[in-house]
Amino acid sequence: MLKGGIKVSKNVKSTLVFALVFSLVIAFHAHANPRVLELKVQDAVAIAFESSLDFQIATLDWQAAQAKLDRARIVGDEEMLKEAETEWEKAEEVYEDKRQGLRDEIRTSYQRLLESEAMVENARIAKERAERQLSMDENKYRAGLLSTLDIERAQNSLFDAEHRHEKAIIDLETQSMQFNHTLGLPLDQQVVLTERLFLDFVLFTASLETCYDLALALDPGTLTARENLKKAHEAVLVSQSPFTPRVELEQALTDEEKATIRLQQAEKALFFRIRGDYYALLEQVHSLEMAERNIKLERQTLLAEESKYQAGILSNAQIVAQQEKLASLEEQYSADLSLYTQARIKLLQTIGKYEELGEGHEN
């Protein structure tokens, strides 16, 4: 069992250094263009509460139930009031679920948009490496040191890198439109995300035991089972009256025993779900740490091989292959980091630790 929670290293961050530069450049254009929105996560959530069409429907239903309850209170009819209160409680529950669900969706969408920006930058860096290599090879070709096959190899590598860069830009545009749709904004609205916390590892300090204990207090299935057990116990107390037939008491006792078993089942199911999510997160952490080490190693290898290539010791094929290998590792790292961050957010949401999602993230 883990005692200190999950701690993730921060040894390799150069693939994400662009984030600060990127945000500064975009922020400059944002100030020059009043149509650009600078958004923290909390700002995005506030806009969604005002503009999201799905949430507006839930708000209208809640307001209608509230108005019906107010009318019932004015009329004073007991049956009418009871019915209105029941409808309002259901509408209130749906409203709060929609509200929390929208918060969670915004956080996830915000993070995915940041990751799309990172993918574009990684693809740009890989494309520039391929451009520099082709330029160097063309000079050697003119000097008679390389063959036309070597040039074609470098050209193919650049062609593929350009395609990856173009695809990353298209994916970023799509993610931006999806983000705007979630917020209820025009699809072409330009936004600048000012919180960069999702682009790096974050310390996860909660132990498995703590995660389970916190989830117990929030899990809908467990809460429902606990409420049903409470009702079953109350029914037993009522049935213990000397004026109640014994058959009703026996049925109430049976229902109470069933409710107890269902609560135990709900708690066990939650335990295995939390345990699975927790150790899956731990496995992702290990994979990312290994990816960081491999990227660092491959960057050092590329630098060493570039020196050998310039000295004429290595072939063009070896350098191109090393560059493409490094680009592939960087791209996979960004994708794996995205999966890890989403899994971490999901677990934090499950246990109600919204404050750990970053500064300004309201629950």
Question: Whole-angstrom Cα distance, residue 60 to residue 66?
Answer: 10
For residue 358, pLDDT over 60 is answered with no
Question: Whole-angstrom Cα distance, residue 129 to residue 336?
Answer: 23
* 104 pLDDT tier (thresholds 50, 70, 90): confident
Question: Whole-angstrom Cα distance, residue 317 to residue 8?
Answer: 36
Can you tell me the mean pLDDT for 271-285?
94
For 314-333, the pLDDT digits (tens) are 888 888 899 889 988 988 88
Report pLDDT for 363.
45
Residues 6+ apart with CB under 8 A from 220: none
Task: For the chain, give the mean pLDDT.
Answer: 83
Tokens matching residue 25: 């450049």
The identity of residue 309, as a single letter, is Y
Residues 6+ apart with CB under 8 A from 68: 84, 87, 88
| Closest residue by Cα to residue 21 from 127, 118, 164, 129 | 118
CB 333 within 8 A of CB 297: no
CB-based burial of residue 356 (10 Å sphere; 0-12 exposed, 13-18 middle, 19+ buried)? middle
